[in-house]
Amino acid sequence: MNGIDSIGEFSRTKQGAFNEACYVFARSENMARLAEIIGMSPTMLRNKLNPDQPHVLSCVEAIILAKVSGNHIIVNSLLLGLGVVTAYIPPNTMDDAFVLCALESSTHSGELSRMALEYAGNQRLTRAQKHKLIHTAHASIGVQVKLIRSLEKLNQGVCLLKAMDERGGANGLSASNINSDQ
């Protein structure tokens, strides 16, 4: 960034993205249910998500809302300003097999391709179209991270045996010798 004008422009565009994310979040989630879970009045929560109101959503509140709702649009809008994209991975899916992750990745890629073809002739996307694309892209990123993790886990056993062969070779031991002795 060069100069005050660049910082001002950066601030203006990022504030706009944050306001848009708050608007979409408020329209897509059940505010009464979320407010009850986090211990805030529904009116106050709606006000904090409305940029025209004086109440401001804190960073911690944005993270709590993401954690409770599973909707990360507000946090993602902030991090995207830093050039960072998040990848949410549901805790019960960390042990998914490589093949399952590859197939799920293909599904998301196909959906993104379908949307690209559907919207190809449009000069502009509607708010709903834009956020549907972003949601699908974020889901795809999450699956890519799971795919990488499944590959790492798949090869962990092989790397361990290779390391044992390399270290044990110096001592006259190897994984094949250990297995053959049994």
The closest alpha carbon to 153, from 96, 100, 104, belongs to 96
Q: What is the per-residue pLDDT for 178?
A: 40
Q: What is the per-residue pLDDT for 47?
A: 96
Q: What is the per-residue pLDDT for 157?
A: 60
pLDDT, block means (10 residues), the chain with 182 residues: 70 90 94 96 96 93 94 91 80 73 89 93 89 88 84 67 55 43 42
User: In sequence order, what DSSP letters do the residues of the chain get, joined into one string?
Assistant: --HHHHHHHHHHHHHHHHHHHHHHHHHHS-HHHHHHHHT--HHHHHHHT-TTSS----HHHHHHHHHHHS--HHHHHHHHTTT-------GGGTT--HHHHHHHHHHHHHHHHHHHHHHTT-SS--HHHHHHHHHHHHHHHHHHHHHHHHHHHHHHHHHHHHHHHHHHHHTT--HHHHHHH-
- Using a cut of 0.75, tell me whether the model's pTM lies above it: no
Q: What is the per-residue pLDDT for 74?
A: 94
Rg for the chain (alpha carbons), in Å? 23
Q: What is the per-residue pLDDT for 55?
A: 94
Q: What is the per-residue pLDDT for 139?
A: 87
